[in-house]
Amino acid sequence: MIIAYVLNTYPQPSHSFIRREIQALERQGHQVVRLAMRRADTPLVDARDRAEAAKTTYVLDRGALRLGGVLLRRFLNAPGRSLAALRLALRCGRASSSGMARHLIYLAEAAEVVACCQAAGAGHIHAHFGTNSATVAMLAHALGGPGYSFTVHGPEEFDAPVALSLGAKLDAARFAVGVSQFGRSQLCRWAGFDTWDRLHVVHCGIEPDAFDDPQPVPEGPLRLVSIGRFVEQKGQMVLVRAMARLVREHPQVHLDLVGDGEMRQALEKAIAKAGLQGNITLTGWLDQDGVRAALERAHALVMPSFAEGLPMVVMEAMAAARPVVATYVAGTPELVLAGETGWLVPAGDDVALAEALAVLAETPVARLRGMGEAGRMRVLKRHAIDDQARKLADLVAGTEG
């Protein structure tokens, strides 16, 4: 099969799961055409991401004149379909906070996507996220392009389903997937009842070979790692407050905050105010090997998020045989089993998080290693990327034609 992947910004440091899915599909003999609307606005520190960027067509790089010309030709060649697509774009624009003008740009992007699909012989479009990438996929289909599907990750789609016209996208798609059963349940809220049978679960995947020889949980004072964009929903500020409580009894504890983002200065200020400069290191973004090394140095991963889909870093930590301390949000409890593979705490509760970390600090290393191994077995069984990509490919094959 030839599948066109329609993405907003690709590749990105925090979206390595898309790269893994694409490459798994290619290993299985499928051809994937990478169509991203724009380039990443952050440096690509991972050589794997740079290699993906070289394989990607960037729609907005074609320029306004080219996009406008392609859209005009669509109107001349298929006026009925094009007018229907225009009405759909305007309807979505009226519902959206980004407005109708932005959706006219999406329509022009969709026309270019159709042209790229026709040139490559792609028979199906798959988008990641139910945001503007799914809008472009839906409009491309309305303009006469292939049928489409999309993966919804959350939480953005669940926060603004009406503004994103999520129900319309679901009902018009060949199928849609959530990355957890919780995610699929949220899609059921906005899809018509007759669409439910076309809603599925396809997990994000890990590459087992990348974690084929995990290092045991180390001895020594507690060392933690937390990985993610520095944005409010990831809850790093709660983790800083929990650390301030934890160091009173465990002054040697250390936390690596891996990532970057708009909250960096606020986090630096909070860390300094709490006097935690010796306990917390902000590493910036790390490549895949750097993340693996940070996990190997740590006793556990901490994921203090307020909202999530199903975090890739939790899967990677479990594959690296590390216990996880996470919050009871979205699909996380489907993966992290309290008392077996880690600890779960209420989101936003720095006291509960500090208490869980204190229990972790006092847990014997042998017990942590056992929890890590249980988590490893669980994630390898549920999230091997080749298995998940095959599931996605089977869904595509079952709907083409």
What pLDDT is recorded for position 1? 95
Structural domains of the chain, ranges and CATH numbers in brackets: 2-205+384-397 (3.40.50.2000), 209-382 (3.40.50.2000)
Record the pTM.
Answer: 0.88
Paired strand residues for 281:
256
As beta bridge partners, residue 282 has 257
Q: Which of 379, 366, 256, 360 is nearest to 320 (CA)?
A: 379
Q: What is the pLDDT of residues 183-207, one digit of tens each?
A: 999 999 999 999 999 999 999 999 9
Specify the amino acid at residue 260.
Answer: D
Give the whole-angstrom CA distance, residue 173 versus residue 178.
14
The rounded mean pLDDT for the chain is 95
Instruction: Report pLDDT for 131.
Output: 96
- State CA 373 to chain mean position distance: 25
How does pLDDT run across 124-172, given as a tens digit for each residue?
A: 999 999 999 999 999 999 999 999 999 999 888 999 999 999 999 999 9
- Tens-digit pLDDT profile for residues 60-96: 999 999 999 999 999 999 999 999 999 999 999 999 9
Residue 14: pLDDT above 80?
Answer: no
Average pLDDT over residues 392-399: 95
- Give SS3 for 344: strand
Spatial strand order of the sheet with 175-178 comes to 57-58, 31-38, 2-9, 124-128, 148-152, 175-178, 199-201
Q: What amino acid is encoded at 195 in this protein?
A: T
> At residue 401, does pLDDT exceed 60?
no
